[in-house]
Structures are given as structure tokens and as C-alpha cells.
Amino acid sequence: MTEKEKMLHGEWYDANFDKLLLEEIRKAKLLCYDFNMAKPGSVEQQSALEKLLGTELPEGVTVQAPVYFDYGEYTHFGKGTFVNHGCYFMDGGTIHIGENVFIGPFCGFYTATHPINFTDRNKGFEKALPIKIGDNCWFGANVSVMQGVTIGAGCVIAAGSVVTKNVPENCLVAGVPATIKKRINQ
């Protein structure tokens, strides 16, 4: 398997020295720059984001600059999703965001993890696990969602939370690490 194939299959891969992955990251950074520096709401800004994501945006998706992606093409937004300023999508593993999701400013979605052993970590090894967000969720400012996490539909994630474990549908979670504070009656 190539390093990219390993990455997409959730296996340990060379994240720091593989030429193909480094080139894909470089291209994504340039497209992020184009998006972030374009006039807000312009055709140029929309075009840069669609090139970065590798697809047309679903209806009603709004992404505020600045925004950052490692690859772009592995992040998928559902209809009506809103992404506020300063968000980061570390999308070596796929990130699937449902419909009508509100993402507050400076949120991060981190699919990558590294070996605890520094010898392997220094070799550039990384593992990327997918993140899945259900429909109708709301993320307060400065939320971090960690690798491999699934958040069910209808959840509210309080500002500053660090989500390290799966969250069932219709829950309010808060804290570091985030824990369920109450069930939401929808």
C-alpha cells in the first residue's frame, strides 16, 4: 500500500516524509491561501474552496475565512452547514459533517494521532481516524474534536470542550475531556 492508502485506511503511515502526501498538503495550503485572501463572498473565494474540497458546495454551506485544511478533499459538508472564522480541519482521516451544523469560531477537527514512542514518532509515523458529525449539531467556540470520534445528530458541544469519545444523539456535552451534561429533548 502507498502511504496515502495507509492513511485513508486508518493505518500507521509516513506523514512527514512521503513526497506525494507532502505535495497534496502543499496544494491544499495554496488553495487555503487563495480562499482566505479572496474578497469575502466573491466568485474567486467560492472557486478556491470548491477546488480545495474537490466538489461543488452543497446548498447553503457557508465557510468564513480564515479556514485551514490539511488536504481539503477529505472533508465533506452537508447542506446548510456554517463554519465560523479560524477553524481547522486536520483531514488525513475523513471528516463528515452533517446537514445544518453550526461550527463556532476557532474549532478544530483533528483526525491524526502519533505514536507515544518518540523513536517511531520521530520517523514521521501518524495514524488518521475519521470524524463523523451528525445533522443539526452546534459547536461553541474553541471546540476540539479528536480522532475517531462520532457525534450523533442534535448535539450541542459547549465552548472550549475537547471531545475525545463518541457522543450519542441529542446530548449537551462540555468540559475537558467532554462529558454528557444532559440529554436534549428535541
Of the residues 9, 76, 85, 114, only one is catalytic, namely 114
Nearest CA among 24, 21, 15 for reference residue 124:
15
Sequence-ordered strand ranges (E) for 8-111: 13-14, 62-63, 67-69, 75-77, 82-83, 87-90, 95-97, 102-103, 108-110
Separation in Å, CA 119 to CA 53, 111, 122, 136: 34, 21, 5, 42
To the query of whether residue 114 is one of the catalytic residues in this protein, the response is: yes
Active site residues: 114
